[in-house]
Amino acid sequence: MTTTIRTFIALAMIALLGGCSVHYSTTGASIDNDAKTVNIRFIENRAPITNPTLSQKITQKLRDKVTSQTRLIQVGDNEPRADYEFRGAITGYSFSNAAVTNVDQAATSRLNVTINITFIKRVGDKKGFTQSFTRSADFNANQLPSTVEGRLLDENIIPGIVDDIFNRAFANW
């Protein structure tokens, strides 16, 4: 009889533990188990002043990050509704003075980029968001903006904004 009870307890424990699961991710991304697809729509440029390649670059970098760091598959706009969807627009693009010398002359200039993102979640808790993400990069005021703009976007601003969007959507930061 003791063997029967031990066998029953062992089987009950296995059944209980078999129903539990833990999902670990090396990227910190938390994806609903039911989610399989994502649609990252083209991020439009609605800023009064802009860089002509910024929309394309930021859209592609966000697509690359989501598909490389999650198990989600990017679907096109003509596909049925994706489990997750990103829509966005560049709403701000400006140069400003960041620091002034004692002779009222700019010592440092700043490039500012703002993107408004709407994240739609059609699975799980369905808690999406609409939020603006802003990143800035400083450069020496003696340099022409056109000579440093591409480097600032590619090395600082675009990766920073993409990380912010990804973390807000999947790491809930």
- pLDDT tens for 104-162 read 666 899 999 999 999 999 998 889 999 999 999 999 988 999 999 999 999 999 999 99
Q: What is the DSSP letter of 81?
A: P
**Chain CA centroid to CA 27, Å:** 12
Please tell me which residue, 20 or 61, carries the higher pLDDT value: 61
User: Can you tell me whether residue 137 is helix, strand or coil?
Assistant: strand
CA 75 – CA 83 distance, rounded (Å):
10
Alpha helices (H) along 25-96 = 54-69
The pLDDT value given to residue 14: 63
> Does domain 32-171 fall into CATH 3.30.160.150?
yes
The pLDDT value given to residue 25: 45
pLDDT digit string (tens) for 3-23? 666 665 665 556 555 554 434
Cα dist from 1 to 6, 9, 13, 14, 15, whole Å: 9, 12, 19, 20, 21
